[in-house]
Structure 1
Amino acid sequence: MPENTPASGQIPPSEWPGERLGLPESGTGSVGRVGRRILALCIDWAIANLIPLLWAPYASNLHSWTTLALFAIMQVVFIPTIGGSIGHRVTGMRVIALEGGWVGLRRPLVRTLLLVIVIPALVWDSDQRGFHDKVAGTVLVRS
């Protein structure tokens, strides 16, 4: 191990979320904060919840599974095409690949698969990136 490399657990904390990722503290390109993320999730879930009401009773298993499937489809389709889900875009955020360029199809698939099992989205690091974003190599930023 090189001399100037800190030992595991000795890495100093970030001054702000996204500092270690090279992102600004605030404004465009900064990490999307918790309030915006929760609002975006509520918007996406509401849209996914309303559409199945056209053919499935609200409390049925069909409605529940259709809602989850629509939520996942919206994530996978809209992240690579418009830069984020409808909720992300309405709340002024977008999903980007850490190494830059187009986010592609694999990242949204991995991110969404982990997101729908919920627990990875609840585990965050000091950059306010959920486990689903870390595994997918993405970050949710303000646009």
Structure 2
Amino acid sequence: MARWIESWLPGSPAGTDAAETHPGEKFGLPADGPNAVAGLGRRFVALFLDWILAYLVALAFLGVDGLADPNIRWIVLAIWYVITVLGVAVIGMTPGKVVARIRVARTDMAQFVGVPRAMLRTLLIVLVLPPLARDGDGRGWHDRASTTIAVRTR
């Protein structure tokens, strides 16, 4: 039985007869193993690694003295944004996602995420709240808005 709050939320399972047994089932994803929904821990690891990479790229161009620049956080954010958009749009992965063994896939199972979806998804990640507000499939608002889902590669 659905909780009362689920009855008015968009995309809620309230009123449906079939209960899902695991996250991603409605997209045809397995419960475990490759192509299963990636957990929040893997996603945080990937984000952290990509953020460190953005700092390293910024330091490579600005030098160690760049850390004293008051705009360093905006420079790092811009570098992270570009790395994330390009990686997700073209191959569905960023360097951090490769290490965390996850990728971003479209829910309609199209081959590429594409630049517009990747830009929207990444912009919403910058706002922080959308990735934390997750649905039953482990998709944040950023994934729902871009019709994507993060899945495990192994």
Question: What TM-score bracket applies, with the shorter chain setting the length?
Answer: 0.7 to 0.9
**8 Å CA contact retained: 2:90, 2:113:** no
Question: What does residue 78 of structure 1 align with?
Answer: 87
Question: What does residue 96 of structure 1 align with?
Answer: 105
CA distance in 1, matches of 2:19, 2:59: 46
- The one-character-per-residue Cα deviations of 1:13-66 (angstroms, maximum 9, x if unpaired) are 532221222211011110011121111111001111222224153253321001
* Structure 1 outlier segments of 4+, above 3 Å: 7-14
Question: What does residue 4 of structure 2 align with?
Answer: none
Secondary structure of the residue that 1:17 maps to in structure 2?
coil
**8 Å CA contact retained: 1:48, 1:70:** yes
Q: Where does the alignment leave 5 or more consecutive residues of structure 2 unmatched? A: 1-6, 9-13
CA distance in 2, matches of 1:42, 1:76: 16
2:74 to 41, 65, 76: 65
TM-score by length of 1: 0.86
1:13/1:70 Cα in 2 relative to 1: closer, same or farther (>3 Å)? farther
**8 Å CA contact retained: 1:124, 1:130:** yes
Q: Where does the alignment leave 5 or more consecutive residues of structure 1 unmatched? A: 1-6
The 5 A counterparts of 1:1-143 are 9-11=14-16, 14-54=20-60, 55=62, 57-101=66-110, 102-143=112-153
Pairwise CA RMSD: 1.8
Instruction: Tell me which amino acid in the other structure corresponds to 1:73.
Output: V
Identity among equivalent positions (%) equals 36
Bigger Cα displacement from structure 2, 41-50 vs 11-20 = 11-20
Bigger Cα displacement from structure 2, 48-57 vs 103-112 = 48-57
CA distance in 1, matches of 2:44, 2:68: 23
CA distance in 2, matches of 1:106, 1:92: 24
Question: What does residue 3 of structure 1 align with?
Answer: none
**8 Å CA contact retained: 1:13, 1:126:** no
